[in-house]
Chains A and B, each alone.
Chain A
Amino acid sequence: MASWKSHTLLDARDIARRFGARWVLRGASITVASGEVVGLLGANGSGKSTFLRVLATLLRPNAGSATIAGHDIMREPDAVRHSIGFLAHTPGLYDDLTARENLVFAAAMLGLPDADDDIHCALERVALTHVADERVRGFSAGMQRRLAIARLSLSRPRVLLLDEPYSNLDTAGTVLMNSLITDTVDAGGAALVVLHELAPSAGVIDRLATVHEGRIDSGLYEAEVEPRLALVGAD
């Protein structure tokens, strides 16, 4: 999995962010190399999601700096947005559009010309072809999550920023999510994944980092991850 580790794709240094008087991030730093998948663990409210949103250019940091695929998140946000694939807690789909229309819209926004084949492949990949022309309003949470994975795969991002990507996914959905991560890193990309539990990401995560009170503790490397994953699996 980590055979691509050649250069840094994500480099965040001393990121700080506050909401009102409360500092949620207090100097969070992390680096992720190409071909690497890093899991972010932490208690509720520790700042994991805020950190991901800062990296995704959805929130401006109060201090610190970060580059993604060589682009500064503050100075070149548009280039950063072209390089990342961000999956939030909510799927971000339009209930009154069909599954296919949601992807057609995403393709148009991504500036993908003649995306019909890509959309068909993406729907096939997430096994939603049979409901492609049904409105998303009637979809279960898991189906919506799958459709969000399909949308993510359309843009072929270099860096995946995934916020609890396994929530609402069944076993098949978890496999799909893992295959998206694997495909991305195999193509020289990287992934930073906020995790609520370790089990679904077994075999995918190269390194774990923990977020505590707005700071990121140094990662646990491959050798340490495997026993932990085994322990979680044993539970």
Chain B
Amino acid sequence: MGRSADWGRIRAIAWKDLTAERRSKAGFYSVAALGITILVLFGFALGPDTRALRDAAVGALWLAVFFAGVLTFNRSYQVELDSGALDTLLLYGGGRWTIFTGKLLANLAFVMMMLVIVLIVGAVLFQVEVPAQWPTLLAVLALGVIGLVTLGTFYAAMASRSRAREVLLPLLLFPMMVPVLLAAIQASKALFGADLMQESGAWMRLLVAYDLVFLIITHLAFEYVIEV
């Protein structure tokens, strides 16, 4: 009963967030537009040199996902704050970690959809070819997004109680994201360059360790950061 009720709550929150986001439309389009704009701006900044574009493609892609993700995480709690629903949400019985897991799953789905769009646009814009080790690249992308979304969802909850949350979230999130971004960028770069030195494995292990540690810590700490 306990576990099925918890799972029911997680599903309900993920469904509610995705349904509200899908219906509001402006949310997804504005976030995707930001991701694409960042890629285009990188393209302009790097100029017409194809080699320079390819070299910078991976970093540009991850930064586009990061900045667009920050918008997503802020919106995730804005839905609750706009209508005063956060208090109601906190008063339902059961573990508050279920709220975090539900929001994490919804944000994960949202950022993954955005990632697909950014990947397609990035591949066209930076003239990047799909590497031979594309399944490993997909795993790197998934691990990087899990790290980003876990920390983003957690820090957005922490910042949600502050009036300066739009400014606070990137300030809190960016220093914590450095290891994830670094590992994801290096692993992706290695895979695009055929990974002759077998570097991607070490970076992926770092990503796995980082994701596991922060998935556990954020679930344990959520109850305390969402309290007033």
Contacts and interface: CB of A to CB of B under 8 A. Distances in A.
A100 B11 CA distance: 17
A60 B87 contact: no
Nearest to A95: B83
Contacts of A172: none
Contacts, number: 80
Contacts of A109: 9, 12-13, 89, 92, 94
A131 to B, nearest CB: 16
A221 interface: no
A111 B90 contact: no
B228 A88 contact: no
Interface in B1-51: 5, 8-9, 11-13, 15-16, 19-20, 23-24
A20 to B, nearest CB: 13
A97 B16 contact: yes
B227 A60 contact: yes
B171 interface: no
A92 B83 contact: yes
B113 interface: no
A58 B23 contact: no
Given A88-B84, A97-B20, A56 B9 contact: no
A105 B89 CA distance: 10
Given A81-B91, A111-B9, A95 B228 contact: no
Interface string A62-88: 000000000000000010011010101
A58 B90 contact: yes
A89 interface: yes
A226 interface: no
Interface residues of B, number: 29
B129 interface: no
A88 B89 contact: no
A95 B92 CA distance: 19
Interface string B91-113: 11111000000000000000000
Interface string A98-111: 00010001101111
B228 A58 contact: yes
Contacts of A218: none
Contact of A105 (B16, B23, B91): B16
Contacts of B227: 60
B12 A86 contact: no
Contacts of A96: 19-20, 23-24, 79
Contacts of A121: none
Interface size range of chain A in the complex: 20 to 34
Contact of A81 (B83, B85, B93, B228): B93
A108 B15 CA distance: 11
A110 B16 contact: no
A151 B13 CA distance: 16
A163 B84 CA distance: 13
Given A58-B228, A105-B12, A108-B8, A95 B82 contact: yes
Contacts of B86: 92
A43 interface: no
Interface of A: 53, 56-60, 78, 81-82, 84, 86, 88-97, 101, 105-106, 108-111, 135, 151
30 contacts: A56-B91, A57-B91, A58-B87, A59-B228, A60-B228, A78-B93, A78-B95, A82-B93, A84-B91, A86-B91, A89-B84, A90-B84, A91-B83, A91-B84, A92-B86, A92-B89, A93-B83, A94-B16, A95-B83, A96-B20, A96-B23, A96-B24, A105-B12, A106-B92, A108-B9, A109-B12, A109-B13, A109-B94, A110-B92, A111-B5
Given A78-B93, A94-B83, A111-B94, 4 more contacts: A56-B91, A82-B93, A93-B85, A109-B89
Interface of B: 5, 8-9, 11-13, 15-16, 19-20, 23-24, 79, 82-95, 227-228
